[in-house]
């Protein structure tokens, strides 16, 4: 293993050979982003002042994965009630959100690095029509030259914030994808970025380097067979963001760290991970510490932490199902008993819930997780679909074949049309469930599907 001082220096020198020697150097813009964003604070303050003058009641972020998870954790950490994150294609959830806001007094933020994310573009087109095509009610965050940038210019959006092309989505918390939403929440972004900048400086040190130490712990633990990262719960749901960072960065080539927010670290295949959040603004520093840590862990796993070779698989399957032009097949297949009968030591169970995200279903999933944990003795992870496809989906398909995947579906209700598409949100979410299930089967994963009333 490389000496710690040498490893830290080579990361900051953008040396791709510290990982695989492929294209890692192209994806290290996150190392400098706290400083770069600090230089844009005045611009952000001017923008938010203009938004305040427009007297919006609510802000709705339309984004998935790296474009939605950091804003959601910031929202929860700072307790912001008038900021909403829409990262589901469930028709009932979209209808419920629309019913809770005044469209005439809502600002919509469309966030997608590629500018072509299917869910985000569908949400954007839907609310564009519902809002009466008022460009002043829309903002875009996207990489330069993207389809979304062109669309925003055509429609006269209030503002377009360019992302940094050298930063991947899961490393974008301290870029415009996290900081613009934070500014719209009323968070003091200069203070949040100052916390991140201080941590970045600490992560240059050879001794007492917080990011390196956490990454070394992850990496050596993985080498010892402790691949489940049991992230302690926080009031702001830090694990929701961290699980994408860990899963998408390390879950490939049959290897991977399995993030397990809220799970007990007691077990021979587990290790504890404690977010250090003395106050809400220390979240900026924690974002950077964990980003650096996962980059370090990638060295131990001998993989690139910055690619996601298997994410496209479920998207391609979804397109296949949609192209068939008929109702996707999401009938029950297998059972909980049959799935758990296949369990082996050091496996994990993953609940993939393509159901409406709401408090009742949160409780339902929590009860199911407790039952699965009790029956199997294994770590149990869970996520709503399609959100988890942009978070932990890479690990499920490219990581070790140690997962037992339980998909849960419901009746999404009446169809909800998507402008300019031959399908609506009902068919889309069912196609996403069917597509991911087929993708897991193709990779020889152990899977079962049940309907929510049977859970």
User: What's the whole-number mean pLDDT along residues 3-9?
Assistant: 96
Cα(222)–Cα(245) distance, rounded to whole angstroms? 16
Instruction: Give backbone dihedrals phi and psi of 213, rounded to 5 degrees, phi first.
Output: -60, -40
**What is the CATH code for 33-187?**
3.40.50.10490
The per-residue pLDDT for 53 is 95
With contact defined as beta carbons under 8 Å apart, do 435 and 317 qualify? yes
Cα(240)–Cα(261) distance, rounded to whole angstroms? 7
The per-residue pLDDT for 1 is 74
pLDDT band at residue 381 using 50, 70 and 90 as cut-offs = very high
Pairing mode, if any, of strands 138-142 and 106-111? parallel
pLDDT band at residue 351 using 50, 70 and 90 as cut-offs = very high
Cα(38)–Cα(185) distance, rounded to whole angstroms? 17
Whether the predicted pLDDT of 273 surpasses 90: yes
The per-residue pLDDT for 2 is 84
pLDDT more than 90, % of the chain: 96
In the chain the first and final C-alpha atoms are separated, in Å, by 46
Supply the mean pLDDT for the chain.
97
Peptide bond into 337 cis (omega under 30): no
Cα(376)–Cα(406) distance, rounded to whole angstroms? 13
The per-residue pLDDT for 453 is 86
3-state DSSP assignment of residue 168: coil
The length of the chain is: 455
With contact defined as beta carbons under 8 Å apart, do 435 and 444 qualify? no
| Residue spans per domain, the chain | 33-187, 202-301, 311-454
Whether the predicted pLDDT of 455 surpasses 90: no
With contact defined as beta carbons under 8 Å apart, do 300 and 250 qualify? no
Cα(383)–Cα(446) distance, rounded to whole angstroms? 17
Whether the predicted pLDDT of 232 surpasses 80: yes
The per-residue pLDDT for 73 is 98
Cα(418)–Cα(197) distance, rounded to whole angstroms? 42
User: pTM above the 0.95 mark?
Assistant: yes
Angstrom CA distances, 335 to 38, 298, 346, 449, stand at 52, 36, 21, 7
User: What's the whole-number mean pLDDT along residues 229-257?
Assistant: 98
3-state DSSP assignment of residue 204: coil
**What is the CATH code for 311-454?**
3.40.50.10490
The per-residue pLDDT for 422 is 96
pLDDT band at residue 333 using 50, 70 and 90 as cut-offs = very high
Domain 33-187 and domain 311-454, same fold? Reply is yes
Q: What is the pLDDT of residues 48-100, one digit of tens each?
A: 999 999 999 999 999 999 999 999 999 999 999 999 999 999 999 999 999 99
Cα(422)–Cα(323) distance, rounded to whole angstroms? 9
The per-residue pLDDT for 279 is 97
């Amino acid at each position: 293993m490389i000496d710690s001082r040498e490893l830290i220096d080579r990361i900051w020198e953008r040396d791709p050979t510290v990982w695989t020697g492929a294209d890692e150097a192209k994806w290290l813009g996150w190392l400098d982003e706290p400083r770069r964003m600090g230089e844009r604070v005045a611009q952000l303050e001017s923008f938010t002042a203009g938004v305040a003058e427009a007297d919006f009641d609510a802000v709705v972020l339309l984004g998935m994965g790296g474009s939605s998870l950091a804003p959601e954790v910031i929202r929860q950490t700072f307790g912001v009630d008038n900021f909403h994150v829409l990262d589901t294609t469930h028709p009932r959830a979209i209808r419920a959100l629309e019913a809770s806001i005044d469209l005439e007094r809502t600002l919509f933020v469309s966030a997608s690095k590629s500018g072509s994310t299917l869910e985000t573009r569908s949400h954007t087109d839907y609310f564009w029509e519902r809002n009466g095509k008022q460009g002043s009610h829309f903002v875009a965050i996207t990489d330069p030259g993207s389809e979304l940038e062109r669309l925003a210019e055509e429609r006269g959006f209030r503002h377009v914030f360019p992302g940094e092309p050298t930063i991947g989505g899961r490393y974008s918390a301290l870029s415009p994808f996290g900081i613009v939403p934070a500014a719209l929440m009323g968070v003091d972004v200069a203070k949040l970025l100052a916390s991140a900048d201080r941590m970045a400086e600490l992560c240059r040190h050879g001794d007492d380097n917080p990011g390196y130490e956490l990454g070394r712990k992850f990496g050596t633990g993985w080498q010892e067979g402790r691949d489940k990262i049991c992230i302690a719960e926080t009031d702001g749901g830090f694990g929701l963001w961290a699980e994408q960072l860990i899963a998408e960065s390390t879950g490939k080539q049959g290897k991977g760290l399995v993030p397990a927010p809220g799970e007990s670290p007691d077990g021979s295949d587990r290790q504890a991970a404690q977010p250090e959040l003395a106050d809400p603004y220390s979240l900026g520093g924690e974002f950077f510490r964990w980003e650096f840590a996962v980059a370090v862990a990638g060295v131990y796993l001998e993989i690139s932490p910055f690619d996601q070779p298997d994410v496209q698989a479920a998207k391609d399957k979804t397109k296949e199902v949609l192209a068939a032009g008929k109702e996707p097949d999401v009938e029950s297949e297998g059972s909980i008993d049959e799935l758990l009968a296949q369990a082996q030591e050091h496996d994990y169970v993953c609940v993939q819930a393509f159901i409406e995200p709401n408090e009742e279903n949160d409780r339902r999933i929590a009860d199911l997780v407790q039952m699965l944990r009790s029956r199997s003795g294994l770590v149990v992870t869970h996520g709503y679909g399609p959100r988890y496809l942009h978070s932990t989906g890479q690990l499920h398909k490219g990581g070790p074949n140690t997962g037992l995947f339980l998909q849960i579906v419901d009746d999404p209700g009446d169809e909800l049309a998507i402008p300019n598409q031959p399908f609506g949100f009902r068919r889309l979410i069912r196609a996403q469930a069917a597509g991911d299930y087929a993708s897991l089967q193709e990779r020889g994963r152990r899977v079962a599907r049940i309907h929510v009333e049977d859970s």
